[in-house]
């Protein structure tokens, strides 16, 4: 484990995310529809689902950037709209589209975010975050000189320079090559082991196996929420893509028989 994480090992983590009957609409579009969710303690939760299923909306709601149309959300037991700056500093956010400055170097970008959060011992924190994403050799390169994967890693360093224990990462591995993706997931697991709760949205269902639990969304509704291996066992499939399709079939069949929700015979509990 890196020195970075050794310095932040927590003894008891009180990280949590809950949603209760949470819905969010944009005009006629219901982006999130009556979502109930309880996530307690350090873990990696993958958020998967087709385009437009509500992944980004979920993350933006948890940040307090969007208010619910109905229901409520809590992050570390506080409504995201009521988070004070100290509580907000416990949360790290990596947006889907890079939020780094092209004309600044890697170090300058990460330092900028460290300043925003009022990080103490800033220089060391910036170095640690850059080391964590393995960009030590490109510290002084301008963002315009970096590859796409390196830009994603810079963005990740900006999201965690203030040492948050709740990380909301919107498609952090998109456009990143397989080798780098594997090393990012190793880093995520290290952070989880150091006490962080991470919510990671992804299009790559295959990489959701790196998560402790996977939240499958479809049309803004929770299709299922369980451990990856439980999905495979319950659907008799060997990869999550097939499991997701099997769940979709099952849901469609259940809807056809008029019950609207899976019955008691369904092997996968829809929401735990």
Ligand X SMILES: Nc1ncnc2c1ncn2[C@@H]1O[C@H](COP(=O)(O)OP(=O)(O)OP(=O)(O)O)[C@@H](O)[C@H]1O
Instruction: Decide: 157 and 132 in contact? Cβ < 8 Å.
Output: yes
DSSP one-letter code for 205: G
Beta strands at 221-226 and 213-218: parallel, antiparallel or unpaired: antiparallel
CA atoms within 13 A on the CB side of 178: 1
From 36, 52, 74, 108, residue interacting with ligand X (rule: CB under 6 A): 52
Cβ proximity to ligand X, 57 vs 76, nearer residue? 57
Pick from 5, 15, 19, 31 the residue near ligand X by CB under 6 A.
31
Q: What is the dihedral of CA 36, 40, 45, 47, to 10 degrees?
A: 20
Pick one of 2, 18, 43, 56: the residue that binds ligand X (CB under 6 A).
56
Question: Given the rule CB under 6 A, which of 36-44, 53-61, 188-196, 259-267 is the region that contacts ligand X?
Answer: 53-61
With CB under 6 A as the contact rule, the residue among 55, 107, 128, 192 that binds ligand X is: 55
* Residue 53 in the binding site for ligand X (CB under 6 A): yes
Instruction: Show the DSSP H helices in the chain as ranges.
Output: 3-6, 55-62, 85-88, 106-116, 122-132, 148-160, 178-193, 228-235, 240-256
| Beta carbon of residue 8, minimum distance to ligand X (angstroms, whole number) | 29
Residue of 1, 9, 29, 267 interacting with ligand X (CB under 6 A): 29
**Contacting residue, 17, 39, 44, 49, with ligand X by CB under 6 A:** 49
Residue closer to ligand X (CB basis): 52 or 71: 52
Element spanning 20, H or E: strand 16-26
60 or 162: CB nearest ligand X: 60
Q: Indicate which single residue of 54, 80, 164, 228 sits in contact with ligand X (rule: CB under 6 A).
A: 54
Name the burial class of residue 103, with classes exposed (0-12), middle (13-18) and buried (19+) by CB atoms within 10 angstroms of its CB. exposed
Of 26-34, 38-46, 97-105, 129-137, the segment contacting ligand X by CB under 6 A is 26-34
Distance of alpha carbon 82 from alpha carbon 68, whole angstroms:
13
What residues make contact with ligand X under the rule CB under 6 A? 26, 29, 31, 49, 51-57
């Amino acid at each position: 484990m890196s020195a970075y994480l050794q310095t932040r090992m927590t003894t008891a983590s009180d990280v949590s995310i809950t949603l209760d009957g949470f819905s969010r609409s944009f005009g006629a579009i219901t982006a999130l529809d009556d979502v109930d969710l309880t996530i307690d303690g350090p873990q990696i939760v993958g958020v998967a689902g087709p385009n437009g299923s509500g992944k980004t909306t979920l993350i933006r709601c948890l940040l307090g950037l969007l208010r619910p149309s109905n229901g409520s959300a809590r992050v570390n037991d506080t409504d995201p709209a009521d988070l004070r700056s100290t509580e907000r500093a416990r949360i790290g956010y990596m947006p889907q589209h890079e939020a780094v400055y092209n004309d600044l170097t890697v170090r300058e970008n990460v330092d900028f975010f460290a300043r925003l959060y009022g990080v103490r011992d800033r220089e060391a924190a910036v170095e640690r975050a850059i080391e964590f994403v393995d960009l030590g050799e490109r510290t002084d390169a301008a963002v315009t000189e970096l590859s796409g994967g390196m830009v994603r890693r810079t963005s990740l360093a900006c999201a965690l320079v203030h040492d948050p224990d709740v990380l909301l990462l919107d498609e952090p591995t998109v456009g990143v090559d397989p080798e780098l993706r594997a090393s990012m997931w190793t880093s995520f697991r290290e952070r989880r082991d150091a006490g962080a709760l991470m919510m990671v949205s992804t299009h790559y269902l295959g990489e959701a196996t790196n998560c402790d639990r996977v939240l499958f969304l479809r049309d803004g509704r929770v299709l299922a929420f369980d451990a990856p291996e439980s999905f495979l066992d319950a659907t008799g499939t060997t990869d999550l893509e097939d499991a997701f399709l099997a769940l979709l079939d099952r849901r469609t069949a259940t809807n056809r028989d008029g019950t609207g929700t899976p019955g008691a015979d369904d092997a996968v509990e829809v929401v735990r």
